[in-house]
Amino acid sequence: MNKITVGILGATGSVGQRFIELLSNHPYFEVAELGASGRSAGKKYSEAVNWIMQTPLPTEYGNLVVKECIPNFNSKIIFSGLDASVAGEIETQFAESGYFVISNARNHRFDIDVPLIIPEINYDHLELLHVQKYKGGIITNPNCSTIGLAMALKPLYDNFGLEAVNVVTMQAISGAGYPGVASLDILDNVIPYIGGEEEKLETEPTKILGKLHLSKTDSDKTNTGEIELTNFKISAQCNRVPVIDGHTESVQVKLKSKPTLEEIKKVWREFKSLPQKLNLPSAPIKPIHYYEEDNYPQAKIHRNLENGMGVAIGRLRECALFDYKFTILSHNTIRGAAGGTILIAELMQAKGYFTK
């Protein structure tokens, strides 16, 4: 197939850089345009960026001239790694001008007609694109900690029902972007606060695991749509820890039915969905890996599981307050950011959404 050209907004930031790294030699997409702030616009990308990825900056991207983040791109598919302080208005302008914006920012996640997508969980929510009033569309990727949590909860929710969830996160410093947290703050320390993070963890899974409702007009064309949120409660506490990549989450769940430990492990290990069926390029072969070792998962060992797109779970055991407790580990800048967003685009391409 001929590759589809794409643009990246916020290209000089850490998420934008990860987009470039993961899209290099991608079988579907080719990065053709890079957008950033007015300070960077007009410069060669290699001159505008402080490249912090472990892989070298490809020359073909280094020579691209950075554009302003205004809707004059030639590519109709736009990946947004913009900071939330500016993302909302810019992404709206692009969508109104006919672009498909697949965003890693929080601004539009709870817009009533904007899907908040984890491809293995709620790919059907992409149907909301048909009721958006934009010439193009906006699709959002969840918070980095939400993705690991929701992936673990989905098989439990479908098979046993959920009543309540408690989660405590230990989040890597790369989640704060670059330059992130000052070394004197994070070294030899744990910071028990990440602005806005607990609210995201407590609300986003209720939309992701929610039910899609579409209404049709007399002409049988989809007219309106919304997501009915799930009704189980989530309590979250979020901490920043001195780990470079990989978010760890300690989770407790109360279920509607009481499965055995082995039944829970089985539904995790057997969990697959549409991205695996379609064999999408970024899709992990096994979305969830369960480990029996008492001291697993660990960030150093498991964050690059399935090229950073897999979720590691371990330490499942009974809980004296809830029903069960366990530990999750996922890569926050790959599965939780750029990689998860690219997987959304791959799914949209495979299902023909870009021909809207």
Do 169 and 90 fall into the same domain?
A: no
Do 174 and 69 fall into the same domain?
A: no
CA angle 338, 169, 195 (to 5 degrees): 75
Mean pLDDT, residues 79-104 taken together = 97
In this model, does residue 246 exceed pLDDT 80? yes
pLDDT in tens, 222-240: 578 999 999 999 999 999 9
Do 66 and 165 fall into the same domain?
A: no
Do 77 and 150 fall into the same domain?
A: no
pLDDT value at residue 45: 97
pLDDT value at residue 202: 98
The candidate with the shortest Cα–Cα distance to 153, out of 64, 56, 255, 236, is 255
Token pair recorded at residue 163: 């009543």
In this model, does residue 70 exceed pLDDT 60? yes
What's the rounded Cα separation, in Å, for the pair 195 and 143?
A: 13
> If pLDDT is split at 50, 70 and 90, which confidence band does 167 have?
very high
Q: Check: CB of residue 213 under 8 Å from CB of residue 226.
A: yes
pLDDT value at residue 221: 59
**How many structural domains is the chain composed of?**
2
What's the rounded Cα separation, in Å, for the pair 331 and 248?
A: 9
**Collapsing DSSP states into helix, strand and coil, what is residue 119?**
helix
Q: Check: CB of residue 176 under 8 Å from CB of residue 240.
A: yes
Do 185 and 99 fall into the same domain?
A: no
Q: What is the mean pLDDT of the chain?
A: 96
Token pair recorded at residue 248: 């760890």
What single-letter DSSP state applies at residue 191?
B
Q: Count CB atoms within 10 A of the CB of residue 286.
A: 16
Do 89 and 170 fall into the same domain?
A: no
Do 76 and 173 fall into the same domain?
A: no
Do 308 and 350 fall into the same domain?
A: no
CATH number at residue 44: 3.40.50.720
Mean pLDDT, residues 49-77 taken together = 96
Q: Count CB atoms within 10 A of the CB of residue 166.
A: 18
What's the rounded Cα separation, in Å, for the pair 116 and 31?
A: 24
> If pLDDT is split at 50, 70 and 90, which confidence band does 2 have?
confident
Mean pLDDT, residues 18-30 taken together = 97
> What is the percent of the chain with per-residue pLDDT over 90, rounded to a whole number?
94
CATH number at residue 260: 3.30.360.10
pLDDT in tens, 178-235: 889 999 999 999 999 999 999 999 999 999 999 999 987 655 555 789 999 999 999 9
Do 235 and 268 fall into the same domain?
A: yes
Q: Check: CB of residue 143 under 8 Å from CB of residue 201.
A: yes
Do 116 and 78 fall into the same domain?
A: yes
Question: Which amino acid belongs to residue 86?
Answer: V
Do 346 and 314 fall into the same domain?
A: no
Q: Check: CB of residue 64 under 8 Å from CB of residue 47.
A: no
Q: Kindly list the catalytic residues.
A: 144, 247
In this model, does residue 356 exceed pLDDT 70? no
pLDDT value at residue 220: 56
Query: What domain range includes position 350?
Result: 4-143+337-355
pLDDT in tens, 290-305: 999 999 999 999 999 9
Mean pLDDT, residues 113-126 taken together = 98
What's the rounded Cα separation, in Å, for the pair 104 and 22?
A: 15
Q: What is the pTM of this model?
A: 0.96
Helices in the chain by DSSP H: which ranges?
14-23, 45-48, 59-62, 84-96, 119-122, 144-160, 183-186, 197-208, 261-269, 274-277, 299-302, 339-350
> If pLDDT is split at 50, 70 and 90, which confidence band does 286 have?
very high
Q: Check: CB of residue 226 under 8 Å from CB of residue 135.
A: no
Mean pLDDT, residues 171-177 taken together = 95
Do 22 and 81 fall into the same domain?
A: yes
